[in-house]
Amino acid sequence: MKINHVFFDLDHTLWDFEKNSALAIETIFKKHAINVDLQQFLFHYVPINIKYWELYRVDKITQFDLRLGRLKDTFQLLNYEIEDEKIMMDTAEKLREVSERLNINVIYKSSFLKDNRSSLSYYDGPGLEKGMRILAKVKEQFGFPLLTDIHESYQAAIAGEVCDVLQIPAYLCMQSSLLVAAAKTGKVVNIKHGQFLAPDNMKHPLQKCIDAGNDQIILTERGYVFGYNDLIVDPRSFFHMNNLGYPVVFDVTHCVRKYGIPSADAKGGAREFLPVLSRAGVASGIDGMFIETHPDPSKALCDAASQLCVYDLEEFLKPLIEIHNVVRKY
């Protein structure tokens, strides 16, 4: 009998898994100049790695969550900052290049907390203190106006010290205390259209901000959900919200998310629809486009399946600018 393939199960047999894993991690640390005590790292990493594998075996997390989460959690326990700041600064650098070449205004948005993830095991952000520190660095180095979302009233004043625009998440767009806290900072308030509200009913959160003494307001469309894990964009909503008398922004990358499916899953979004939806939105007369972008979307810590690669951003925007100019002309 001809033997075509021979398979070896090396772990814990021919291969000393623990020893070789430690050696591999040590090599990586040296190569990338990661100044962390190896034994301290392994002390935390080993049980975290076991926990993540247990979740992966019962389909509670994706392969992406497994690969990244165990390392991220370990570094966080050691108070070692990784990735967040580098990704943000690299993205900001590319955004500056694109904005200068296309002569467009950019508001830089990043979340310090993703408080509506589908599972507690998913990455939810660097936290308020660290997030504001990184955003302040982006502002200092690149000069972008900043936007971040808030989820609790106390966060408004802290975020308002650094950011120029405070965003009210769609799920929370009717929360009076949150709207009032954001309005009272005197910053621009971006209210995301709740997936459960008719567009003309956005007049209610809008009025709450006005009554709190702030009429610097943006309304952002991000699609309706009807209970079938899909978001629907109706161009009539742009018309209705425009009639409220405030700038309307189209959050196109969130509109292609698939509810109920982890964003790290390739099925969790449909970015192939980004060009047609964005062009329809611009043709409908929106005032701005909200685009999530990343140097490598497949490795993004959230909304990986729907983000646009930052290196594709310039070509993506060119037809939108042309359509915008035609709309403004007529």
Q: What confidence tens digit (pLDDT) does each residue in 226-242 have?
A: 766 778 888 899 999 99
More confident residue, 135 or 14: 135
Domains and CATH numbers, the chain: 17-77 (no CATH), 84-329 (3.20.20.70)
Q: Which residue has the tokens 């742009």?
A: 238
Joined together, the tokens standing for residue 224 give: 């309706």
**Element (H or E) spanning 70, and its range?**
helix 63-77
Percent of the chain surpassing pLDDT 70: 93
Which pLDDT belongs to residue 123?
A: 64
**Residue 97 above 60 pLDDT?**
yes
- Cβ atoms within 10 Å of 165's Cβ, excluding its own: 21
pLDDT in tens, 161-201: 999 999 999 989 999 999 999 999 999 999 999 888 888 89
Average pLDDT, stretch 276-281? 94
Q: Are 118 and 135 in contact (CB under 8 A)?
A: no
Q: Are 306 and 253 in contact (CB under 8 A)?
A: yes
Q: How far apart are CA 126 and CA 129, in angstroms?
A: 8
Q: Which residue has the tokens 């997936």?
A: 195
Which pLDDT belongs to residue 264?
A: 67
Which pLDDT belongs to residue 184?
A: 97
More confident residue, 79 or 90: 90
Which pLDDT belongs to residue 62?
A: 76
| Average pLDDT, rounded, for the chain | 87
Q: Which residue has the tokens 């509810």?
A: 259
Which pLDDT belongs to residue 78?
A: 82
Which pLDDT belongs to residue 118?
A: 63
Q: Measured between alpha carbons, how far is residue 174 from residues 158, 195, 217, 234, 290 in Å?
A: 21, 11, 15, 21, 21
Which pLDDT belongs to residue 100?
A: 94
Which pLDDT belongs to residue 51?
A: 92
Average pLDDT, stretch 306-311? 90
Q: How confident is the model at residue 156 (pLDDT cuts 50, 70, 90)?
A: very high
pLDDT in tens, 237-269: 999 999 999 999 999 998 888 877 776 676 788
Q: What are the backbone angles phi and psi of residue 16, rounded to the nearest 5°?
A: -80, 95
Which residues, at least 6 apart from 122, have a Cβ–Cβ distance to it below 8 Å? 61, 65, 114, 262, 302
Q: Are 131 and 125 in contact (CB under 8 A)?
A: yes
Nearest CA among 225, 191, 193, 222 for reference residue 208? 191
- Cβ atoms within 10 Å of 37's Cβ, excluding its own: 10
Which pLDDT belongs to residue 213?
A: 96
Which residues, at least 6 apart from 213, have a Cβ–Cβ distance to it below 8 Å? 183, 184
Which pLDDT belongs to residue 188?
A: 97
- Which pTM value belongs to this model? 0.68
Which pLDDT belongs to residue 199?
A: 86
